[in-house]
Amino acid sequence: MLKKYMAAGAIAVGLVGVAGTAQAGKDLDAVKARGQLICGVSTGVAGFASADSQGKWTGIDVDVCRAVSAAIFGDSEKVKYVPTTAQQRFTALQSGEVDLLARTTTYTLTRDTALGFDFTGVNYYDGQGFMVNKKLGVKSAKELNGATVCVQPGTTTELNLADYFRTNKMTFKPVVIEKIEEVRAAFFAGRCDVFTTDASGLYATRAANAPTPDDYIILPEIISKEPLGPVVRHGDNQFADIVRWALYAMIEAEEYGITSKNVDEMLKSENPSIKRILGVTPGMGKALGVDEKWVYNIVKQVGNYGESFDRNVGMGSPLKIARGQNALWTQGGLQYAPPIR
């Protein structure tokens, strides 16, 4: 009996030893060796990930990539962005074409398990909605019986759509199109009555792509939970931890009032939590296997979560999306980062 306990104890100590060294796994090694993070993003959704005419990517998803880059390299710009359609994205991650996806991707059980991935948090709490032309005279999704619906394949959207219509004993005709610009063209040309996707995507499409935004309404029903977050493939827990804590660092920084503007002042703070977060009291960087200034670099170069939200999708952006569920837990929202300690 005693022997057994001792053996178990030795194994436990061994495991702790391995975990404690924070060894770089193969994905993190590859990122470091190439000097660049390869981030899979969407092909163009205003506020989430879109490139301007100079090829500069911006968006709340892009900021996750930038934060990870800042944590690993001390520089948020060491990122190559690879646009992926909804249908291509998981193959791109599985095959190693990208290191991570930060691409309006809903955290679900089968993606987390059968596909061999790990979700590392939620950077935007969303839900699926419907957009229609006002001319249709429809005020509720319950009036959509028999409608033609534009939808992208390889999405939770497609599955929820079928569930919703079945549950409400309605029928619909799907128009399934892979490329977002072709979906938009079809919808705005009136080839489908309804466009359905994550509500954020509807707001983005109406604000940035509709020829006449005022002609379209987003119906009040939100028919699903779409927690959107960064995702990595199985195989490198340290890399997954860095992706996870880079996002948490942005959320934690907002909670402690640390912004890109005041972060240098905050280095002088006497608050023990802030000292730990910013690496003034060392330890957190070492535990994660990155520089002690990792959070400083993220916040200085990318901003905290609230700054990123406002700039990309919130009141400082054309989308003007309210914080809603994406407010911090201290403000009645769902954004909650585990403690950096």
Ligand X SMILES: N[C@@H](CCC(=O)N[C@@H](CS)C(=O)NCC(=O)O)C(=O)O
Q: Please report, as ranges, the residues that interact with ligand X according to CB under 6 A.
A: 42-45, 85-86, 104-106, 152, 155-157, 180, 197-198, 201, 226, 228
In the complex with ligand X, the residue whose CB is nearer, 121 or 201, is 201
- Pairing type for strands 79-83 and 172-176 reads unpaired
- Pairing type for strands 216-218 and 128-133 reads antiparallel
In the complex with ligand X, the residue whose CB is nearer, 157 or 301, is 157
Closest CB 155 distance from ligand X, rounded Å: 3
Closest CB 236 distance from ligand X, rounded Å: 22
Amino acid occupying residue 258: I
Q: Which of 295, 227, 243 is nearest to 99 (CA)?
A: 243
Closest CB 38 distance from ligand X, rounded Å: 17
Query: For the sheet containing 37-41, what is the strand order?
Result: 79-83, 37-41, 100-101, 231-233, 117-119
As given in the structure block, the two tokens for residue 90 are: 């998981």
- Closest residue to ligand X: CB criterion: 201
DSSP percent split of the chain into helix, strand, coil, nearest 5: 45, 15, 40
Q: Which of 72, 64, 26, 25 is nearest to 48 (CA)?
A: 64
Whole-angstrom CA distances from 137 to 141, 161, 223, 300 are 11, 21, 20, 48
Closest CB 259 distance from ligand X, rounded Å: 28
Closest CB 159 distance from ligand X, rounded Å: 8
Whole-angstrom CA distances from 60 to 72, 97, 248 are 19, 22, 14
In the complex with ligand X, the residue whose CB is nearer, 71 or 177, is 177
Closest CB 41 distance from ligand X, rounded Å: 8
Whole-angstrom CA distances from 71 to 142, 276, 287 are 47, 15, 13
Number of residues assigned to the chain: 341
Q: How many CB atoms lie within 10 A of CB 36?
A: 16
* Sequence-distant (≥ 6) Cβ neighbours of residue 241 within 8 angstroms: 288
In the complex with ligand X, the residue whose CB is nearer, 60 or 138, is 60
Cβ–Cβ < 8 Å for 171, 147: no
Whole-angstrom CA distances from 242 to 68, 139, 158, 245, 291 are 7, 44, 32, 5, 11
Angle, alpha carbons 322-324-325 (nearest 5°): 140
Cβ–Cβ < 8 Å for 339, 287: no
In the complex with ligand X, the residue whose CB is nearer, 106 or 120, is 106
